[in-house]
Chains A and B, each alone.
Chain A
Amino acid sequence: MRREFFLRLDRLARNLTPFGLTLALIILGMLPVRIPDYASVAPILAAISLYHWAVYRPHLLPFVAVFLLGVAQDMLSGAPVGLFALVFLTFYGAVVLQRRFLAGKSFLVYWLGFAVIWFLATLELWVLASAFHVTLLDMKAFLFQYLVTAGLFPFVAWIFLRWQQAFLQQA
């Protein structure tokens, strides 16, 4: 009885890790880093997390959770509410569609997959944000942000792969 309870608790904790880790990355991305011009190119780390779980464990991160994470990103960052919810959902959906192609490939292909799909998502972000403000926003900031996010991908993805191997082997 007791053992059963702890097993269930354990499984619950494991099942919540994708959501928890992504939320942690969203909050981490908000921290004020005092590097000149960092603020305008601050990477969207949550995208890397979404990509990882979409490829490896989509059943642990349902669409509703992705939606909530997007809303959290909007609320905290001050972006128009719904913007990231929409972009995260389409990004996540696109990756889930391609997951059979992406899973188990070499790391370079895995990285390239992120670079391509997140680029399209960045374009979507720019189009939506510009439409929301009814003006053409400076595209440079978006491009640099994209480059920083794609550049940081290997580090974050490596940690996620390690984490998954350590804790989510049987999930």
Chain B
Amino acid sequence: MEERPSTFLRLAAPLRGFVQRFTYLGLILAAFGLMLVGKADTVLVDRARTHVTDAVAPILDAMSKPVTTFTRAVDNVRDLADIRAENARLREENARLRDWQMAARKLDAENQAFQKLLNVVPESAVSHHTARVIADSGSGFSHSVILNAGESQGIRDGQAVLGNDGFVGRIVGVGSRASRVLLITDINSRIPVVIEETRVRAVMAGNNSGRPRLLHTLPSQRITPGQRIVTSGHGGAFPAGLPVGIVAAVTDGGIEVQPYMSRERLEFVRAADFGLGGILESNDRADPASGGK
């Protein structure tokens, strides 16, 4: 095009500048429009996002493998350096855990006996689907990761996602071979939680930083740093008792939570289907018989 300017192009040159400027403004407006649509119709945007993620998933899957291998090799070398100290620490921990195991066995037996006595309704069985994290969006705009499993592997919208250390987030978009996890630290995340020892309820809200905050707590409720936080099971979206984090700081600005999960250590996670319909399926799985919206 540049090499052979025809008469037409020479004549059209001033026009081209005009068209270009017009395109530019049009595209800026289109981007604004997209943001507005995204704000108004999240379902539509999520669906589009799912399709794009699905299309790129094989590339991400392949590319994330060498990264994983590399980081694992680095970890191995680092671990070798202090293997002796680690061994001693583990031995000590093992002894302590054995005590705990005995206590747990005793409590479990006791619990089962009581449950039988009281005719407790059993919680539905859990089925896990393990998947690998193939992408982490990074940045302060959103906290989400992409898994290499989708609808065909049994992943469903709204499932709770668990990592090695605890509750990680929930599934917010499922494609045929990839799905997106909204981490508990994302600004859109709201998790009903409870302080484990005092049973004080709260909602944990992400804010796109590493430390979510507790909302809807009363000043009279005593919350101190170090208390464990678990899911409360309210709302029926997640089962009760999944470990979430600990209270990190209580300030005037709010109550900060240090989650158990660490984003950079997410490698394999489990999407758990607890058989709870939850409040998330507003149109897909709504059951008219239950009367709920």
Contact = CB atoms under 8 A, between A and B. Distances in A.
Interface of A: 27-42, 44, 59, 62-64, 66-67, 70-72, 74-83, 85-86, 89-90, 93, 125, 128-129, 132-133, 135, 137-138, 141-142, 145
23 contacts: A30-B136, A30-B137, A30-B138, A31-B63, A31-B67, A33-B67, A33-B71, A34-B264, A39-B136, A40-B209, A40-B263, A59-B2, A77-B137, A78-B141, A78-B180, A80-B39, A81-B37, A86-B32, A89-B27, A128-B35, A132-B38, A132-B39, A138-B207
Nearest to A75: B52
B48 interface: yes
Majority secondary structure of chain A interface residues (helix, strand, loop or mixed): helix
Contacts of A28: 63
Contacts of A70: 31
A67 B30 contact: yes
A32 B63 contact: no
Given A30-B60, A138-B207, A85 B139 contact: no
Nearest to A70: B31
A90 B28 contact: yes
5 closest pairs, A vs B, by CB?
A42-B138, A82-B34, A141-B140, A82-B35, A78-B142
Interface in B113-139: 133-139
Most chain A C-beta atoms within 10 Å of own C-beta, residue among B39, B45, B139: B139
Contacts of B226: none
B28 A64 contact: no
B134 A32 contact: yes
Contact of A141 (B67, B208, B263, B267): B208
Interface string B90-115: 00000000000000000000000000
Contacts of A63: 20, 23-24, 27
A29 B146 CA distance: 13
Contact of A129 (B23, B141, B210): B141
B202 to A, nearest CB: 19
B176 interface: no
B145 interface: yes
B231 interface: no
A80 B208 CA distance: 13
Interface of B: 2, 20, 23-24, 27-28, 30-39, 45, 48-49, 52-53, 56, 59-60, 63-64, 67-68, 71, 133-146, 180, 182, 186-187, 207-210, 262-267
Majority secondary structure of chain B interface residues (helix, strand, loop or mixed): helix
A31 to B, nearest CB: 5
Contacts of A89: 24, 27-28, 31
Contacts of B64: 31-32
Most chain A C-beta atoms within 10 Å of own C-beta, residue among B133, B146, B264: B264
A90 B207 CA distance: 27
A126 to B, nearest CB: 8
Nearest to B33: A82
A31 B60 contact: yes
A129 B140 contact: yes
A75 B48 contact: yes
Contacts of A128: 35
A37 B182 CA distance: 18
Contacts of A142: 140
B264 A35 contact: yes
Given A39-B263, A89-B27, A80 B187 contact: no
Contacts of A78: 49, 137, 141-144, 180, 182, 186
A81 B180 contact: no
A42 to B, nearest CB: 3
Contacts of A82: 30-38
Most chain B C-beta atoms within 10 Å of own C-beta, residue among A33, A41, A82, A142: A82
A37 B32 CA distance: 31
Contacts of B27: 63-64, 66-67, 85, 89
Contacts of A137: 140, 187, 207-208
Contacts of A40: 138-140, 209-210, 263
Nearest to A86: B31
Contacts of A44: 139
